[in-house]
Amino acid sequence: MADSSTPLRVPTRKLEAFIASAFEAVGISKAEAKTIAELMVRADVQGSEGHGVFRLPQYIRRIKGGAVNLKPKIRMAREAAGMGLVDGDNGMGHLVMRYATEKAIEKAKGAGVAWVGVRMSNHAGPASLYASMPLEHDMVGLYLAVGNANHLPPWGGLDMLLSTNPIAVAVPGGEEPGIVLDMATTVAAYGKVKTKAQRGEMMPEGWMMDREGRPLTDPRRASEGFLLPIGGYKGYGLALVIGILAGTLNGAAMGKDVVDFNADDTSVTNTGHVIVAINIEVFQPVADFKRQMDTLIRDIRDSRRLPGVDRIRLPGEGSHAARAERAKNGIPLPAPLLASLNELAAQLKISPLA
């Protein structure tokens, strides 16, 4: 039996089967439950713990609350040569975003670059999941989203009108693994604050601010303050324009309309995303591009370091390492998470994980 210091490791297949059985138990079709489960486990495999199986109890709670459409008709609502606008019909975000990303890839084969906006979606897991899908087609992926809870006020403000709206960009390498940037526009994502609270640790200055503008470092007081954007007013501006591109432009929620999906199990979130697929071969021969990427990656990795720095990292390195290790050894499930999943299994009358 696992204690908290050595979390249980669960093979990816087993975790996928468990997640799929949970979604089937609440009325999602077998095929769609499998798709969602695969994408959620992919998040865990790449080390995006806050976006994988950790979210399962919440997703099930919102489904039971009637907030999500179990039989969505996901469709292309508007279309032109270089773009599409997907209406997710309030389906699970993973299904909607997989559909949108496949459409973007398909369109980019002919159009060179395809920009697909999404409305009426839901939380879809980590940004890099979708930005990375074009990679196997020798395409660059770019993903933007409106976050599912507002934790960020405009610069100088008190009202949390913005989310941590993320951006992800994935670029293939040749011999080197590709570059995968996945970042919130706040210094810390809200999930990191929750983790600090769970662990009883303090936050460094710069993550959050209280309502008087003073640093807030006690994560148990998180509700008394708000997250800080990267680069001050710059991060605010970035969160704002990402929200406009992924939300407002697509007819999805933005600003005051964003639903806090952590606190609310019944309201439709109308989540907005954007996925852009960029077909490299339309710009230049793919082999040439990959060779240049390898050179760039090596120039950076082999460059001189500040005193005390052991290694220059490329965006995505942590995920690549996690993927190799976890595909082999399974997904670590800390005791509290395992307990919550076993509780869920009992509720849903499905076989528990362990």
CB atoms within 10 A of CB 299: 10
| Cα–Cα distance, 103 to 113 (Å, whole number) | 12
Residue pair 52/41 in contact (Cβ under 8 Å)? The answer is: yes
Which residue, 290, 288, 296, 325, is CA-closest to 175? 290
Q: Residue 219 or residue 316: which is nearer to a copy of itself going by CB?
A: 316
Q: CA-based angle 191:197:203, to the nearest 5?
A: 80
**DSSP H/E element including 117:** strand 113-121
Footprint (CB under 8 A) of a copy of itself, residues 26-55: none
Our finding on whether 114 is near a copy of itself (CB under 8 A) is yes
Per DSSP, the three-state class of 191 is helix
Among 18, 208, 289, 326, binds a copy of itself (CB under 8 A): 289
Among 255, 264, 335, 348, binds a copy of itself (CB under 8 A): 255
Six token digits for residue 185: 């526009």
Phi-psi region of 315 (alpha: psi -120 to 50; beta: other; left: phi over 0): beta
Binding segment toward a copy of itself, per CB under 8 A, in 3-11, 43-51, 263-271, 285-293: 285-293
Footprint (CB under 8 A) of a copy of itself, residues 129-158: 140, 142, 153-158
Among 152, 240, 259, 344, binds a copy of itself (CB under 8 A): 240
What is the smallest separation between the CB atom of 224 and a copy of itself, expressed in angstroms? 14
Q: Residue 26 or residue 312: which is nearer to a copy of itself going by CB?
A: 312
Footprint (CB under 8 A) of a copy of itself, residues 293-332: 293, 295-296, 299-300, 303-309, 311-315
Please work out the total of residues on this chain that contact a copy of itself, with binding judged by CB under 8 A. 80
Q: Residue 65 or residue 231: which is nearer to a copy of itself going by CB?
A: 231
Q: Residue 12 or residue 101: which is nearer to a copy of itself going by CB?
A: 101
Among 193, 245, 331, 353, binds a copy of itself (CB under 8 A): 245
Among 27, 65, 66, 110, binds a copy of itself (CB under 8 A): 110
Phi-psi region of 296 (alpha: psi -120 to 50; beta: other; left: phi over 0): alpha
Our finding on whether 7 is near a copy of itself (CB under 8 A) is no
Footprint (CB under 8 A) of a copy of itself, residues 160-179: 161, 167, 169, 171, 179
Among 11, 112, 174, 215, binds a copy of itself (CB under 8 A): 112
Amino acid letter for position 8 = L
- Phi, psi angle pair for 117, to nearest 5°: -90, 155
Q: Residue 22 or residue 145: which is nearer to a copy of itself going by CB?
A: 145
**CA-to-CA dists, residue 15 to 175, 241, 332, angstroms:** 31, 37, 11
What is the smallest separation between the CB atom of 248 and a copy of itself, expressed in angstroms? 5
Binding segment toward a copy of itself, per CB under 8 A, in 68-76, 111-119, 327-335, 343-351: 111-119
| Cα–Cα distance, 171 to 177 (Å, whole number) | 9
Our finding on whether 205 is near a copy of itself (CB under 8 A) is no
Helices (H), 161-303: 190-199, 233-246, 280-283, 286-301
Footprint (CB under 8 A) of a copy of itself, residues 64-83: 78-83
**DSSP H/E element including 267:** none
Q: Residue 15 or residue 113: which is nearer to a copy of itself going by CB?
A: 113
What is the length of the chain?
354
What is the smallest separation between the CB atom of 321 and a copy of itself, expressed in angstroms? 16
| Cα–Cα distance, 201 to 107 (Å, whole number) | 47
